[in-house]
Chains A and B, each alone.
Chain A
Amino acid sequence: MTEIQFSGFGGQGIIRLGLISGKALSLYAKKHATMTQSFGPEARGSACSSQVVVSEDRVLYPYVSMPEILVSMSQEAYDKYEPELREDGILIIDKDLVKARPARGKIRTYEIPSTRFAEELGNRITANLVMLGFFTAITQIVSPEAMKKALPGLVPGRFLDLNIKAFDKGYNYGKKTKDEEKKQK
């Protein structure tokens, strides 16, 4: 079982990250995956999160208690959710938006300027898809093909190509990051 938490501020497409991942895992990767989201008085601009629990068998407890993987796309979300990340977990952040403290325990941190990359591609709204591509390459929890297959219906049809481009940008950057990590070892 793997617990994943996506976090950021309302309006960044954080819930969408959970939806796309959950759909890719459930429908195109033969896993069981539930997606729940923080349902509080969250408003646009404040910290929000979506949670995906992945398992070989039926998910019994759909909430994340101590995530193995935390994705943070805002400082507030990082500050709020980072303390719950497992000490051997993976932390993935937008490095322009999050100033991370020195990592606890054996936490491995991966950084990407996802919002900046999205702006370079022409629309910052796709920053979440850049992040999703990066997340896919780093965690290898599901194939990039499955993720892309999950996009129709979850991103507006007319922006599908742009979203795929954003995903690829993040994915390639993630692969490079992984390759460099291997070389250093």
Chain B
Amino acid sequence: MKKIKADPKGVLTGAHYLDGDHSLAEGGLAAGCRFFAGYPITPSTETAERFSERIPKVGGIFIQMEDELASIAALIGAVWGGKKAMTVTSGPGFSLMMENIGLACMMETPIVIANVQRGGPSTGLPTLTGQQDMMQAKWGSHGDYEIIALSPDSPQECFDLTIEAFNLSETYRVPTFVMTDECVGHMHEKVVIPPAEEIELVERKWYTGPKDKYLPYKPDKDMIPFMVKAGDGYRFHTTGLTRDERGYPVINAECQDVCVHHLVDKINKNADKIIKLEEQEIDNAEVIVISYGITSRVTTRAVEQARKAGIKIGTIRLITVWPFPEKRIKELAKKVKAFVVPEINCGQVVLEVERCAAGQAPAIHVPHCGGWVHDPDDIFKAIKEAAK
């Protein structure tokens, strides 16, 4: 992958006091996003607002769409037109996006979607936090496919991980999600934006061969096919139907096997390169707490309490939630008494921990239905239980 430096035009270098929503927008602009299409929804509206103000000033386009389904369609079009594109939403809007997220997966179109999660289901808690869309990010559209999802724990990471999301999305030609939540989205904190020359971006893999030889879905050595810009004179076809290397529909089991395996393998076989974890004091740990996003911050308080109580405890923060760090959890399951998994839902990522631990160590869930973050005491209680 060709690396380039960020365009200084989009980079608001300096120390700022920003909320997570605004930082998502700044991360996108720094990553070179020049097309935003979306439909405002609490608690993500501030991101759209900031884009609407900032993106025209750096030569980009902001469109308020008629709905979320159309927003993704617009993103797909913009990307094939050569832009980097992003949108933002929350639960109900995320549900509406699902159909075309599947289309983006099938068309191998790199788009970035931020979800500022609120409590659900349905309209649920528009103004209050949740982490209930984690499984939806992975499974929400029909059919088999893989995506990448990151989870920031601060406004600073809303900036950093949006850039990372663009880089991963371009590298693997896949929709990439920044799964934040209302608490981080509406929390103000110091955000340091580095100079443009310190921000490394992945350049889209452009095809430069003869115009009549372009194949939009022929995997390169690294599994990822080349892209072209619509209007540059390359003839190509792309569709939601199962297709061959030329992008034309081929409706049979053989082609389906190649096509779907490719969509799944390009992520799964590169999982080690994609996954980022933050591990602390894992080596002698009897109990490991696995958490992500805002919950990992609250967890730190419970972990401090547990250390004072003499419990040998380690932590894993999932910066990348999807693909899931299967290998690492399998490995650790042999060594620990138990995993503790607090998350603001009734049990989502804990199911993955349980699957990977495969009976070697129990995964104790600390649920929260949304509306607020965990009481650190509840996590501490679960840790004590796990250490018994």
Contact = CB atoms under 8 A, between A and B. Distances in A.
Nearest to B182: A39
Interface stretch (A27-35, A82-90, A102-110, A170-178): A27-35
A26 B189 contact: yes
Interface residues of A, number: 22
Nearest to B376: A61
Interface in A15-51: 18-19, 22-23, 26-27, 32-37, 39-41
Across the A-B interface, give the 10 residue pairs with the lowest CB-CB distance, nearest first: A23-B17, A35-B188, A39-B127, A26-B190, A60-B301, A60-B300, A60-B297, A34-B189, A62-B187, A36-B187
Contact of B301 (A22, A26, A61): A61
B186 interface: yes
B17 to A, nearest CB: 4
A40 B297 contact: no
Interface SS of chain A: mixed
Contacts of B128: 39
Interface of A: 18-19, 22-23, 26-27, 32-37, 39-41, 58-63, 150
15 contacts: A23-B17, A23-B188, A26-B17, A27-B17, A35-B17, A35-B189, A37-B186, A39-B128, A41-B127, A58-B297, A61-B298, A61-B373, A62-B187, A62-B297, A150-B17
Contacts of A18: 188
Contacts of B298: 60-61
Contacts of A37: 186
Interface in B254-312: 294, 297-298, 300-301
Contacts of B297: 58-62
A181 B182 CA distance: 43
A44 B186 CA distance: 19
A175 B172 CA distance: 60
Counting chain B residues whose Cβ lies within 8 A of the other chain, the interface size class is 20 to 34
A37 B127 CA distance: 11
Interface of B: 15-17, 43, 127-128, 182-183, 186-190, 294, 297-298, 300-301, 372-373, 376
Nearest to A22: B188
Nearest to A20: B17
Contacts of B301: 60-61
A27 B183 contact: no
A19 B376 CA distance: 26
> Which of A37, A59, A61, A150 has the most C-beta atoms of chain B within 10 angstroms of its own C-beta?
A61
A34 B188 contact: yes
Given A34-B188, A36-B183, A37-B186, 8 more contacts: A23-B188, A26-B17, A33-B189, A36-B188, A39-B128, A58-B297, A60-B298, A61-B298
A134 to B, nearest CB: 22
A163 to B, nearest CB: 17
Nearest to A65: B375
B127 A27 contact: no
Nearest to B297: A60
Nearest to B374: A61
Contact of B373 (A19, A22, A33, A63): A63
